[in-house]
Amino acid sequence: METLKIIIAGPCAAESQEQLFATAEALSNLNTEFMKTSKFDFHFFRAGIWKPRTSPDDFQGVGIDAFEWLKLVKEKFGFSICVEIASTEHARLCIENGIDAVWIGARTTVNPFLVQEIADTVQHSSLTILVKNPINPDLQLWLGAIHRFQNAGIKKIMAIHRGFSIENENVFRNAPCWEIPIALRMKMPETPILCDISHIAGNVSLQQLVAQTAINYGFSGLMAEVHYAPEKALSDSKQQLLPSQFSHLLQTISFLSENNSTDDALFILRNLIKGIDSQIGKLLSKRMEAVDEIATIKALHAIPLLQPQQWKKVVAVYEENALKDENYYQFLEEFLLLLHKASLKRQASCS
């Protein structure tokens, strides 16, 4: 396993020179006092210049005025600078203003045409490119975006897992769907993958859990939103950590053994199964809630509980996604029989 974990931290958005300096100074002190003797390596100071907000009435970022502030941050504190881009014009301006790294946001990654245009624009630059997952859970779209930058000759590329927009997610701001970044890690083991704990968690209280899970899965590091005064932030105030909170989070993360690769592999896979089981558990509960609603409708309209043709459709859905081996087919048959019995039992009790 890697000795050092990459850290990218800074405010959600650049708001003023004073805000950037106060946050950068706090992170610089943290870097001096803690990170140099820890298992973390502070790579980039992050700050959004252009903010792709859902509502046009929300803070959209200060734009090009932030470049001068970030240059001063770099000069005073020695940080490499990282910002988000969403167009070829953004990319061109970042290159002209000496930005060190850029991330491609989730709303941009989803558009292959735009990603290709940006890749063509940055191909002769020295930028480090960070590619966030698309907003929808699509592994191939994420892989494709990374490949476009690889094909453009970019040598320094990282993937950023920031979670996915799923309608029924009710715990995190964006559903982690850990199996997707794990699959990307398996397909592209040489590409560092970081976890954007702020956008997955959506609030400060859940970020420790997300960070520890990412480290357990063997991620290369973390991206976090850190603000010297989150209550004053113009965007995403609930998910921005105080520097002291960020320091505490990093100090309390535990690491897998660096000397036993077999134990580490088992630990990572067991955590993956744990995440999948959690999702299965939630989905089964939601399924049974839907069964109860169906039972109420059937009772109201005197519809028989047993609907053989409808159940055949259910079975077909599972068979379509089944593993092609005899053991799995046997398991699936037994599982579906149990599921059908449980569903009929619930419907009967609701009638």
Residues of the chain with CATH 1.20.59.10: 262-350
CA distance 23 to 19: 6
Q: Is 340 helix (H, G, I), strand (E, B) or coil?
A: helix
Please state the rounded mean pLDDT for residues 56-62: 83
CA distance 165 to 149: 24
CATH homologous superfamily for the domain 5-255: Aldolase class I (3.20.20.70)
CA distance 273 to 16: 44
pLDDT, residue 99, reads: 98
User: Which helix (DSSP H) or strand (DSSP E) does residue 44 occupy?
Assistant: strand 40-46
Residues of the chain with CATH 3.20.20.70: 5-255
- Other Cβ atoms within 10 Å of 98 Cβ, number: 12
- What is the DSSP-derived secondary structure letter of residue 35? G
Report yes or no: 252 and 37 within 8 Å, Cβ to Cβ. Answer: no
Inform me whether the pLDDT recorded for 145 exceeds 50.
yes
Report yes or no: 51 and 68 within 8 Å, Cβ to Cβ. Answer: no
Give tens-digit pLDDT for 320-333: 988 888 999 999 99
CATH topology of domain 262-350: Chorismate Mutase Domain, subunit A (1.20.59)
pTM score of the predicted model:
0.76
Give tens-digit pLDDT for 246-291: 999 998 998 865 545 556 567 667 767 877 787 788 889 989 999 9
Inform me whether the pLDDT recorded for 96 exceeds 90.
yes
